[in-house]
Amino acid sequence: MATDVASPPEGAAERILEAACDLIAADGIDEVRIARVARRAGASTALVHHYFSTREELLEQALVHSFELAGDERFQPPAGVHETATEALARGIAESLPLPGAQEREWVLWVELWLRAVREPELRPVAARLYRRYRDWMVELIGAGIARGEFGADVDAEAAADVAMALIDGAGVRALIDDPGMDVEAARRLVAERLGAELGLDPTALA
């Protein structure tokens, strides 16, 4: 049953954002409407508008929500688990590629944002802000490995982060579209090999 705006339940906004993300991934941004998001979230259109004044605001916030949630899971160590910097980076790489399920959905959302930002310049600052956050996470991981002596002392963390992102994005797109020459496992091996050389690591440490 649709939810009354007067007493929105706890977590309603997040449920609406998740519903929007599901619809964007399934049908593309251009097909997403407030009424469809409301139905999927089990809410009223009035409740959706209570949190998001326009469709564009909802779509933008859904993309930001998805990216931040995925990034927190990808780059933060699991509770109670001690990881070396190398292990954390290997996990970050694996969880950044379009494996079937939630990670593939995140990739579809990324592609939607890329395409939308190309057509609509006002969305470019959103994409740039998310990329900065992504880069910050990667720099932090690589910087930790340098500080602990796991990566080469002469490694430039920021330059290496740019290499990592370029490898993940390039190989990930090919895996996402089922390129016969680059499935997800091949993408992970490629990133591990090239980034391992950049960091002074045996590539198997990242694979």
- Domain containing 24 — which CATH number? 1.10.10.60
Domain count, the chain: 2
**Res. 1 pLDDT band, cuts 50 70 90:** very low
- Does 71 fall in a domain? no
State whether 187 and 88 are in the same domain. Answer: yes
Give the pTM.
0.80
- What average pLDDT score do residues 149-167 get? 96
What are the pLDDT digits (tens) for 140-151? 999 999 999 999
Q: pLDDT by residue (tens digit) across 175-204?
A: 999 999 999 999 999 999 999 999 999 989
In one-letter notation, the amino acid at residue 34 is: I
In this structure, the answer to whether residues 100 and 173 fall within a common structural domain is: yes
- 96 and 193 fall within a common domain: yes
pLDDT top residue among 34 and 65: 34
Residue 66 lies in a domain: no
Q: Provide the pLDDT for residue 123.
A: 83
Range name among 48-57, 65-74, 154-163 with the lowest pLDDT average: 65-74
Question: 178 and 108 in one domain?
Answer: yes
**Same structural domain, 142 and 196:** yes
What residue numbers bound the domain in which 194 lies? Answer: 84-205
